[in-house]
Amino acid sequence: MDFLARAENASAANRAAFDRAGLKQGAPSRSGPPDTAAKILGRNWAAPLAVGPLAGLVRPDALPAVLGAAGGAGLPAVVSALTPGSGPAAPETPLWLRTYAFEDDDTARRIAAGAQDAGYTALVLALGPQTGAAPAPVTGSGLRAAADWADLERLRAACGLPLLVAGVRTARDAVRAVDAGADGLVTDRLATLPAVAAATTGGRPVLLEGGVRRGADVLTALASGADAVLLGRPVLDALLTGGEAGVTAALTGLVGELTAAMAFTGTPTVTEARPSVLRTAPHPVTVTPLPGTAPAPPPAPVPAAPDGPLRRADLHASVSDPVLDTMNFLNEITHRYPDAISFAPGRPYDGFFETERIFTYVRGYLDHLAAQGSTPQDIRTAMYQYGPTAGQIREIVADSLRADEGIDVPPESIVVTVGAQEAMLLVLRALMAGPDDVLLAASPCYVGITGAAKLLDVPVTAVEERADGFRSADLEAAILREHARGRRPRAFYVIPDHSNPSGATLDEATRRELLALAERYGVLIIEDSPYRRVSPGTPPPTLKSLDTSRSVVHLGSFAKTVFPGARVGFAVADQPVVDDEGRTGLLAAELVKIKSMVTVNTSSLSQAAVAGALLAAEGRLSVLNADAAAYYGDAMRTTLRALDARIPAARRAELGVRWNEPAGGFFLSVHVPFRADDAALTRSAQDFGVIWTPMRYFYPQGGGQYALRLSTSYLTTAEIEEGTARLARFIEAQSHRG
């Protein structure tokens, strides 16, 4: 498919998507008319619109006419390097230059180098196929069929102007473009715009081109994640029919339509456009004309179902989430370099697992049922049937929490789930009731909670962990910011003990501060606790054990403490819920309703194995995991000691390397003076035989570019010693590369 055909298809797809979309009426959050002003790459625009890209203008007066109209409207223009007379920019019109992959690299460098002198304020590189595969030459055009990542890197090195990349269609390409130095992105696909925007970090603007015809289209693009749109066809049509005056009228009319759309939806500024203003119209609306009026035009035909496979762009945006791609990439690296020592997997060491013990645990639970008075038929039903949705071992879990954690709650406040991941999904679905409800999360953050939020279209606001640990004041500031934006922070997710990925632990004073904040602002705390009982020593009290106002929903999992294959977790949700008739129940009961429509129940056989393990240890996971906790503690200490020996303090200071020193858990984070991205990981695995996890995977709103995560749980002492030696050699070599 050539460039023009690709652009036309993208524009048609966007047009169809805009026609399906609609806007919801809303009340304004403040008085006064909507403000259409936008700030892109440090420059103020009258509206989030840019004219162009301007190519194929054949009339000699066409370019000055368009630039004059754009400048008069306070809007920038994007001029193609292939447009005759695209020379020096008019001083009143901010211009961007759109360039391409030329057969002659000197041509590309010459155009880029001369752009700044000619008055352009940014460059836009038209990227080719997302694979970046080497294209075939376009005969006689001076252009190659497509630009690739090498062209982007050469252009970045040749010019200091802000550089945007056009043609980005996937979240993974957005991440790659940012890593390669792009200052902004242009996508031509509305369907994947939310995923591209979510993957773009550091305040870099994302623009949509193709298919925009109305002010409502502009607001739809903004609400879907764009910072601005590019206008091509409407400008060219207006130019052909009315010259410069026609373009001026078209731009003025479009800004007016945008203002009206913002007023209709109650959107005060373009930066406050939210997905909540959008609705989808799946069927055309038929309007019966009034007597004496012209009949309404026939509805547009419904397109036939495609003959080919489903397109991922037509699926939910969560399937294009960059975290899913990056985790797949990590798995690919592991399989591609099987001889490399991997500090990536955060799973338990399976040397403690004995196959026969599973049968002992199940038998122990069956004996327990019999001792409690269950008949053989009762036991058979308990094991072979679905069982209660809330779980059949809630009493045993409650006893364990009371014995080990000081969490004293009734069994009916517990829901037994398919791992803690299901518990996260149930809690988020129950709490997040509207488009203005927000989840706050300590960042860096476990990807499971952000993944669940994306599946449910729940917005996540990161509360950054500082170098010296998490601070309650930062959470309070985030809560106040969300309130100021008209949003409702419903819950705050945190792993207080040896968190994944950073390994950080909250001290008791911070825990009490968090509880006070939660009570003050009516925010629930979602406490995740997978690593407490696989760490040496006595941990600080759980948030739930300190909770006197029922502000904490406590999540637990037996994956680390019993065995992962059981896939059994739980949620403690003892918050009171009042229905419309004034009757009070527990949040746990509401979670059970949702679970009945998701997994129906948690495996009875898995529950039996876990219950047997708890009964054997008299409810104390601390006793059951004493040997494992000692092993993991030794592994962490060995890793820290080996790192210190391989990169001593003085050398760390020279290189700018540092790491934290967790007292338990599975993880620690290492800060390095180079980008710890996928390219660096590939080199580490291929040339040095050691694998780690980029920390940027764990930052829901960007960050962690210069840090990596090490997991110490799955390795032997010998593997840790050799692995840290390899890692030190890699860090030394990569630090010199920059």
Judged by phi (left if over 0) then psi (alpha if -120 to 50, else beta), residue 287 lies in beta
The whole-number pLDDT of residue 325 equals 66
Mean of the pLDDT values across residues 310-320? 75
Mean of the pLDDT values across residues 652-681? 95
Coil vs helix vs strand at 19: helix
Closest CA to 211 of 242, 190, 237: 190
DSSP one-letter code for 87: -
Mean of the pLDDT values across residues 292-309? 49
User: Which is it for strands 707-711 and 693-694: parallel, antiparallel or unpaired?
Assistant: antiparallel
- Give, for 679, the enclosing helix (H) or strand (E): helix 678-688
Single pTM value for the model: 0.65
Confidence of residue 330 (pLDDT cuts 50, 70, 90): confident
Mean of the pLDDT values across residues 646-652? 97
Confidence of residue 56 (pLDDT cuts 50, 70, 90): low
Measure Cα distances from 353 to 196, 322, 365, 533, 652 in Å. Answer: 42, 34, 19, 16, 38
Coil vs helix vs strand at 79: strand
* Cα dihedral sign, 413-550-436-458: negative
Whats the size of the chain, residue-wise?
A: 738
Cite the beta strand spans of 263-371 per DSSP E. 278-280, 341-342
Cite the beta strand spans of 260-376 per DSSP E. 278-280, 341-342
The pLDDT tens digits of the residues spanning 489-509 come to 999 999 999 999 999 999 999
Confidence of residue 280 (pLDDT cuts 50, 70, 90): low
Q: What is the mean pLDDT of the chain?
A: 87
Phi, psi of 485 (to 5 degrees): -85, 0
Beta-carbon contacts of 13 under 8 Å, excluding residues fewer than 6 positions away, are: 189, 190, 191, 211
Q: Do 86 and 57 meet the contact criterion of CB atoms below 8 Å apart?
A: no
* Cα dihedral sign, 256-261-262-266: positive
The whole-number pLDDT of residue 738 equals 61
- Lowest-confidence region among 244-248, 328-332, 447-451, 490-494: 328-332
Q: Do 239 and 62 meet the contact criterion of CB atoms below 8 Å apart?
A: yes
CB atoms within 10 A of CB 154: 17
DSSP one-letter code for 127: B
Closest CA to 202 of 704, 735, 675, 737: 704
The pLDDT tens digits of the residues spanning 239-262 come to 888 888 889 999 998 999 999 889
Confidence of residue 469 (pLDDT cuts 50, 70, 90): confident
Mean of the pLDDT values across residues 562-582? 95
Q: Do 704 and 667 meet the contact criterion of CB atoms below 8 Å apart?
A: no
Describe the strand order of the beta sheet including 437-443 as a list of residue ranges: 414-417, 569-572, 552-557, 524-528, 488-494, 437-443, 460-464
Beta-carbon contacts of 174 under 8 Å, excluding residues fewer than 6 positions away, are: 168, 185, 195, 196, 199, 200, 206, 322
Mean of the pLDDT values across residues 432-452? 93
207 versus 52: the higher-pLDDT residue is 207
Mean of the pLDDT values across residues 91-95? 70
The whole-number pLDDT of residue 2 equals 44
- For residues 728 and 700, give the distance between their C-alpha atoms in angstroms, rounded to a whole number: 28
67 versus 7: the higher-pLDDT residue is 67
The pLDDT tens digits of the residues spanning 385-431 come to 999 999 999 999 999 999 999 999 999 999 999 999 999 999 999 99
Q: Do 322 and 328 meet the contact criterion of CB atoms below 8 Å apart?
A: no
Q: Do 387 and 601 meet the contact criterion of CB atoms below 8 Å apart?
A: yes
Closest CA to 50 of 72, 71, 75, 14: 75
Beta-carbon contacts of 160 under 8 Å, excluding residues fewer than 6 positions away, are: 116
139 versus 343: the higher-pLDDT residue is 343
DSSP one-letter code for 306: P
Phi, psi of 650 (to 5 degrees): -65, -40
pLDDT above 60 for 24 = yes
The pLDDT tens digits of the residues spanning 621-631 come to 999 999 999 99
Judge if the upstream peptide bond of residue 84 is cis by omega within 30 degrees of 0.
Answer: no
pLDDT above 80 for 84 = no
The whole-number pLDDT of residue 59 equals 58
Q: Do 635 and 717 meet the contact criterion of CB atoms below 8 Å apart?
A: yes
